[in-house]
Amino acid sequence: MSEQSIYYFDNNATTRVAPEVVAAMLPYLTEQWGNPSSAYSFGNQLGEALTAARESAAALLNADPREIIFNSCGTEANNAVLNSALLTQPGKRHIITTAVEHSANIKFGEVHEKRGGEVTWIPVDRAGQLDVHEIAEAIRKDTAIVSVMLANNETGVIFPLEEIAALCRAKGVLCHTDAVQTPGKLPLDVKAMGIDFLSLSAHKLHAPKGIGLLYARRGVPWQPYLIGGGQEQGRRGGTENVAQIVAFGKAAELAIASLENDASRIRAQRDRMEAALMDTIPGVTRNGAKEPRTPNTSNLSFANCEAEAILLLLDRAGICASSGSACTTGSLAPSYVLTAMGVAPEHALSSVRLSLSKYTTDAEIDFLLEQLPPIIATLRGASPRPEIAAASEISG
Ligand code: PLP
């Protein structure tokens, strides 16, 4: 399928690499391919490129460049921080996280439980929101860390991290946030947020897959997850992925320059798309709170239609969307995020996530609005249960 014929509404899964990012990283694959740790200048001159990228990434977060640890992805960042919190505090075996985190946290927590550790899984309500008091009540003397995502990848619902971090600080507990779904969509300021750790992944920000970072507040105890060379100031072994780090730096720079414009345009496009779908198709409900929510995400349930069938027909029209997180695509089980919100299985199985980016055009949205209503009508016509459940909006 040619690039022209793709209508991309799955930016929470991954994003198109910005041409400026490709241009910035290419020289580090073609000409300047040395090892930055080498003693000769062909290698060690790359230090400048790494420093500039680290400064840009730090600026995106209002962090100090020394607080940035480049790694391979958001999954590594989340695993590394939970692992470090347990290793640096051997007497503390209790983790607090939520039931709707990315599988990087969920699976880590499950393995921790199997190894005899304890995890408190903070629940969410029907709007996908949590109650900070439940975190306060769950904190114990042996709590190693509280890890709560900033925005959910399936619904876009934003959690109150400033409040959670303040609570953790008051109780002397480490606080981490998985902010993978937020750069380029929300302003990020680790100082204002007051957190100890924050994870990002470049492929959600118009840079390539396979590069992520962890912000680790200066002075916070740290044990590396990958043990090897002394790269990243001894905090993450492995030869620096120079081209990808440069790409991340460029993507950060672009995001800083256009955040305000991008976020408000994307929000207006998302709201137009969502309102049109809810107005023109009967039996459409939103999953998750309307606000606070990332400006690009819409998770909608289409009564009496299977999401997998909708996605198949959308795909035939060249439209890319998903039924939940890319990591669980292909699973026939309802989304664990929607299930944790108390969404009924048949409702969850009819839910589609549409996620926009700064590259989404009005014409793409018009095309979706033209294609989706007849797809739903066709599927409902073929459904053995043509009646449409009364639409009850799930919002908060
Ligand atoms: N955290 C969240 C909220 C995500 O959405 C994702 C990716 O989907 C990740 C972590 C994992 O990032 P990566 O794909 O870089 O491992």
Q: What is the pLDDT of residues 2-33, one digit of tens each?
A: 554 799 999 999 999 999 999 999 999 999 99
Question: Can you list the positions of beta strands (E) in the chain?
Answer: 7-8, 68-71, 94-98, 118-122, 143-147, 174-178, 197-201, 212-216, 284-286, 297-302, 319-320, 351-355
Q: What does the DSSP 8-state code read for residue 331?
A: -
CA 389–ligand 1 middle distance (angstroms): 33
Return the ligand 1 atom nearest residue 325 CA: 8
**Binding-site residues, ligand 1, Cβ < 6 A:** 73-75, 102, 104, 149, 153, 178, 180-181, 201, 203, 212, 325-326
Residues with catalytic roles: 327
* pLDDT recorded at residue 328: 53
Percent with pLDDT over 70 in the chain: 93
Which of 181, 211, 353 for a ligand 1 pocket mutation test, highest count of atoms within 8 Å of Cβ?
A: 181
3-state SS class at 174: strand
- Closest-CA residue, ligand 1 atom 10, reads 74
Q: What is the pLDDT of residues 355-395, one digit of tens each?
A: 999 999 999 999 999 999 999 999 998 754 444 444 333 33
Residue type, 245: I
pTM here? 0.94
* pLDDT recorded at residue 388: 43
100's tokens = 């709707």
Weakest mean pLDDT among 33-42, 243-252, 370-379, 387-396: 387-396
| Higher-pLDDT residue of 394, 41 | 41
- What does pLDDT average to over the chain? 94
Residue 329 has pLDDT above 90, yes or no: no
* CA dihedral of 131, 128, 348, 387, whole degrees rounded to 10: 100
| Higher-pLDDT residue of 193, 389 | 193
Instruction: Tell me if the bond preceding 19 is cis, omega within 30° of 0.
Output: no
Burial class (CB in 10 A: 0-12, 13-18, 19+), 281: buried
Which of 15, 97, 153 for a ligand 1 pocket mutation test, highest count of atoms within 8 Å of Cβ?
A: 153
Q: What is the pLDDT of residues 271-293, one digit of tens each?
A: 999 999 999 999 999 999 999 99
CA 165–ligand 1 middle distance (angstroms): 21
Return the ligand 1 atom nearest residue 151 CA: 3
3-state SS class at 286: strand
